[in-house]
Every structure is written in structure tokens, then in C-alpha cells.
Amino acid sequence: MGILDSFKKKKNMGTGEVNPEDLLNDNTPFNIREAFNTLRTNVVFALAPTGGKRLLITSANPSEGKSTTSTNLAVALAQNGNKVLLIDGDLRKPKLHKFFGVDYTHGLSKFLIGQESLNESLIHTNIKNLDLMPSGVIPPNPSELLGSNRMKVFLDKVEEYYNYIIVDTPPINLVTDATVLSKYVSGVMIVVHYGSTGRDDFKHAKNQLVMAGANILGFALVAVKGEHKGYYRKYKSGYSKYGYAYGYGYGYGNKEKRQDGEGKK
């Protein structure tokens, strides 16, 4: 299938840049809010069978909308009355703090090495029900920290207080961080950028997670042009137990279960 080269962008989606205006708010166009609400519904239903609360979000490559997806999914969940913890697990190139205009140097890495308490590392955002754990200072050993027993204990502990925990991680085709952390979460979602993510890139990312024994819930397809609905369905089939999609800024979103049976136990 190769790289899809016909697409549209909305603001900084897929540029690798972060604009606080991309955070869902009362001024966000209706179709964008509904797209994230659709994604929220699909995630809730996908996690429900196991009672899981922890969702890891990654992408195949950089600049594919992963951080924007993670943040706005967390916002959408919080707006629905859930207590949500959003964790910046990208300890190499953190971005989530930029959405909220806070300092990233206090957070996950410092907590994991024992330099900060949990209360010192967490930030209560101005969005009701949504807390943020920034990345903390960039450490020399991100994969080791994320795969450590202290990370597991941390997730076990915060699960007692939150309905959902969203973890944003680096692109899986570049580093192993998402792979090592996948064993500590309930499910993994891959962000696929229409017009940027190649089929081989996606398959490589998926295969790495499969080999790690991760529970791949599905993928979110971003920057979709509505007129390519049929083509999207063709691209979606055969890759995951569920398909999540939203046309970021174009009001396109649906969920479709796989028909080929791949991945069933």
C-alpha cells in the first residue's frame, strides 16, 4: 500500500509541534469534539471486557499526532466525568506539558528515581477531573526507568484513584520505550497519520508490540479526508481487533470490528 500522500492537516497535527489551542475547549469546532467523543467511546468499550484502566498510546514514527491524540482523549474522558491521569511517558522528547503551560522538569523521571514524592510530581490541571504527570527531567536511561518495577508499582498505586490512565510514549519504530512499558498497561493504541504513516511502518510497529505480548486494542487514524471513507476501511481491515478512527477536524469517525478473525484467542 505504501505511503498515503493525499491528506489534510489541522493546525499542528502531524508537524511535531504543540499549540495549546489544540487542546479541546468550548471553542473547539463541534465536529472535532465529536470525533474525540467517538474515540473515547471506542476506547471505553475496548477496555471494558478486562476492566482495564491503563492505555498506552504510541505511533510508528515521529510527528504523527500521538501527543495531541493522547491529550485530547484524556480531556474527553475527563469531560465525561471520569477521573483521569495523563502521563508523559516520552522521557526523550516530552510535549504534554506544553498543552497546559507547565514545567516539565518535575514529574515522572524524578519520581521514579526517588527525587520527588508523588504529590510533588503530579499537577492538577485546570480541566476538571484531569491530572497530569509531566515527564520530569530527561534521564540517560528512559527504557530502564519505564520498564522498572518502580514504574509498575506506581501504575498499580494510581490505579486506585483514577478511572483511566493514559500514557503517551515515544514512537515505537525509533526506541523500545513503548514496548517495555506495554507489559504494565491494559491495552495499546497506535496512532496512524493519514498521508504520513506507511503500511510497512505500521506493520513493523504492530509486530514489535505483538512480539512483546502487548494487548493491541486498535489504532486511531488521524487527518482523514471524509471522501476517503471507503479507502480507510480497506486500510483498516486485518490489523487489529478494533479500529478507532477520527477525521481530525473533518467530522469523520466510526468503529468497525474486524471480519477476518485475526488476533482472536
Helix axes of 30-47 and 66-79: crossing angle, nearest 10 degrees: 80
Q: What is the CATH number of domain 29-255?
A: 3.40.50.300
Closest by CA to 96, choosing from 129, 119, 128, 74, is 74
Q: Is residue 195 packed enough to be buried (19+ CB in 10 Å), middle (13-18) or exposed (0-12)? A: middle
For 109, what's the count of Cα atoms within 13 Å in the CB-facing half-sphere? Answer: 20
| pLDDT under 50: residue ranges of the chain | 1-15, 227-265
Element (H, E) at 191: strand 187-193
pLDDT value at residue 221: 86
Whole-prediction pTM? 0.80
Q: pLDDT per residue over 111-164, tens digit each?
A: 999 999 999 999 999 999 999 999 999 999 999 999 999 999 999 999 999 999
Do the strands 244-247 and 252-255 form a parallel or antiparallel pair, or are they unpaired?
antiparallel
CA-based torsion, 224, 225, 231, 233: positive or negative: positive
Are the C-beta atoms of residues 96 and 135 closer than 8 Å to each other?
A: yes
pLDDT value at residue 260: 36
